[in-house]
Amino acid sequence: MNIGITCYPTYGGSGIVATELGLELANRGHEVHFISYANPIRLDPGIPRIHYHEVEVSTYPLFQYPPYSLALASRMADVAESYELDLLHVHYAIPHSIAALLAQQMLAPQRRLPFVTTLHGTDITLVGSDPSYFPITRFSIERSNGCTAISEYLRRRTVEVFGTGHEIRVIHNFVNCDLYHPDNAKTGASAYAPDGEKLLLHLSNFRPVKRVMDCVRILAEVRKRCPAHLLMAGDGPDRGTAEHLARELKMDRHITFLGKVNHVERLIPLAHVLLMPSDLESFGLVALEAMACGVVPVATRVGGVPEVVTDGEDGFLEAVGDIQGQAARVVALLTDEELHYRMAKAGRWNAAERFCSDKVIPQYEKYYEQVLS
């Protein structure tokens, strides 16, 4: 198939899933065309069957807000025509879904261009339910030829919020289990913790929903009971506040702020525990990536996270903001080797059995075929 993919190319779960999906599809023989304003961060150029088409947004003094959605729609139609795309697959409803609908209408009736919208979370739970975007988000979901959600939670939430009867197929996020795998020796860990402390890891876009300050507070509690060093990977609006809190709690020596990291599959296996104290996660991709690497997630019981992490079996789930509860779980994992070994093993097993790319990608292929027929 010739597939066009549009996503946010920056640091964020939906762009990462879209990029990994494109790479997996190309690996399986499809021609994949990324259409976006920048090269997606995990997309190395020069991979066979992967193509990238940049959307240029011209500015003009009259435009206070350059019309990206229109430029995107034009580029989608242009690429679809030139490369005979069979379908478009857009990730994150706003504004990608409506741009795809415009592209489809521009090409009709000469050629058919069905599009699939994948909902990732904040496009429904935060942005889409904002009154200024609500009607257009519902409209674009209902006009999509296919619509998928990355968890059962998000499917339910979309139906609740938008009251739509449009079919939404749940296709869970996935992980490449060959790329993401445990590193039992954790040799690279000493670069961050020369005194041999075990590593905790947080990886996100540092938006308020991620509650990055909780990570700093959890570390401060953990260190009252056992040594540990925290790696904070990623960047975003709350990074400065987290760094300030680290100094205030005298934790700055025990935390490394890494900024944006490109090859997270090399970093994650160095850790013992992943911290994901989010206010909300529709899936929590990083928890899955951690499980595949034998790193045990200590997370919050929110949204779609319980569909990924089985509390007490391959990770721990606590209430949002319960610093003591999360810290106690971390201490248990750092001090009880048998417990850590058992949960890490279960995590790797569950990630491979339920969410490995070779189990999930065929679900997308089948769905595309259904939409095309």
Let me know: does 281 contact 153? Beta carbons within 8 Å: no
Q: Which is nearer to ligand GMT, 4 or 13 (CB)?
A: 13
What CA–CA distance (Å, rounded) separates 151 from 88?
A: 21
Least CB distance to ligand GMT at residue 38 (A)? 15
Which one of residues 43, 85, 147, 280 is an interface residue with ligand GMT (CB under 6 A)?
280
Least CB distance to ligand GMT at residue 191 (A)? 26
> Cα separations (Å) of 204 from 136, 179, 277?
28, 19, 11
Best CA proximity match to 315, nearest among 280, 276, 368: 276
**Residue 283 touching ligand GMT (CB under 6 A):** yes
Q: Which stretch binds ligand GMT (CB under 6 A): 186-194, 245-253, 281-289, 319-327?
A: 281-289
Q: Which of residues 71-130 bind ligand GMT (CB under 6 A)?
A: 92, 120-122
How many CA atoms are closer than 13 Å to the CA of 299, on its beta-carbon side? 35
What CA–CA distance (Å, rounded) separates 261 from 263?
A: 6
Let me know: does 334 contact 327? Beta carbons within 8 Å: no
**Residue 281 touching ligand GMT (CB under 6 A):** yes
Give the sheet arrangement for strand 273-276, strand by strand. Answer: 255-259, 228-233, 198-203, 273-276, 296-300, 316-318
**Residue 4 touching ligand GMT (CB under 6 A):** no
Let me know: does 326 contact 318? Beta carbons within 8 Å: yes
Instruction: Print the binding letters for residues 54-73 with ligand GMT: x by CB under 6 A, - otherwise.
Output: --------------------
Least CB distance to ligand GMT at residue 16 (A)? 7
Q: Which of residues 285-344 bind ligand GMT (CB under 6 A)?
A: 285
Which one of residues 205, 326, 350, 357 is an interface residue with ligand GMT (CB under 6 A)?
205
Q: Which residues bind ligand GMT (CB under 6 A)?
A: 12-14, 17, 92, 120-122, 150, 173, 205, 209, 280-285
